[in-house]
Amino acid sequence: MNAIKLTSIVLVGSAAIAISATSAQAFSFSVGGTAVAGEGYKSSLAGAQTIDFNSGSPSNSVVTYSGIVNNIVQGSKSGQHATPAGNESKFLTISQKNANVVGNTGSVTLNFAKALDYFGLYWGSVDTHNFIDFYSGGKLLKTFGGGDISTTAKGSWTGASDNLYLNFFAGAGQSFDQIVLRANGTAFESDNHSYRESAAVPEPTTMAGLALASAGFAAARRKKQKAQAS
């Protein structure tokens, strides 16, 4: 995604102040979490809220999961789903629509009531037919496929390169409010979803107002110094 440069010019007398803000930097991701006995890995990010699916319904006041029918399972079943390595608890599985397996909804959508700048999940048996889409206001910002995440992406039930805790970060000035997890095959397994609210980013008009106030203060100070020197 290309960077967008916004520039505001404020004129005060003979003074001109230019303020620029660079936003829409590229999404990034990292690999790594905290090992938890019986639950695989969880987010290590301070302030992140985690959903582990153990209570059954994952929705809360911040996030609503839509598209879930029989997608929350426990344990592995050959030809249908594999629990993420080291995980003995409940998790989310998604398979292609109309397949003769549980979790055959094709996708699950996470709608957030607040803007986020971080999302994490323990992604099990990563396959090339697994995808995660990030949206803001209905606009697609970025898609990551299993092939972008894993060096192997062959769906190994136990392999370290196919069972990873992924941390996704919005770029500077970005946020997202919807995530779609989808699969074109069998299956996309994940657990321990984590999210963090986005920090407020000043709007260009707000920054221009701050510049105007600053320039006005500087002008008043110069006037006062001139009067004192007279």
What is the rounded distance in angstroms from the CA atom of residue 70 to the CA atom of residue 60? 19
Question: 157: which DSSP letter?
Answer: S
**Under 8 Å between Cβ of 181 and 188:** yes
- pLDDT tens across 25-77, in order? 589 999 999 999 999 999 999 999 999 999 888 999 999 999 999 999 999 99
Domain 26-197 has CATH 1.10.3470: no
For residue 204, what pLDDT band results from cuts at 50, 70 and 90? very low
Half-sphere exposure for 191 (CA within 13 Å, toward CB): 32
pLDDT at residue number 228: 53
CA nearest to 68, candidates 91, 87, 100, 40 = 91
Spell out the residues 6+ positions from residue 43 whose beta carbon is closer than 8 angstroms to its own.
33, 34, 50, 120, 165, 167, 192, 194
> pLDDT over 90 for what percent of the chain?
72
Q: How far apart are CA 141 and CA 47, in angstroms?
A: 24
pTM for the model: 0.77
CA distances from 81 to 104, 115, 118, 156, 207 (A): 11, 31, 27, 11, 51
Which residue shows structure tokens 């639950």?
39
Half-sphere exposure of 124 (CA within 13 A, CB side): 31
Residues linked to residue 135 through DSSP beta bridges, in sequence order = 140, 178
pLDDT at 199: 78
Neighbouring CB atoms inside 10 A of 62's CB total 15
Cα gap 48→166, rounded to integer Å: 13
Rg of the Cα trace of the chain?
23
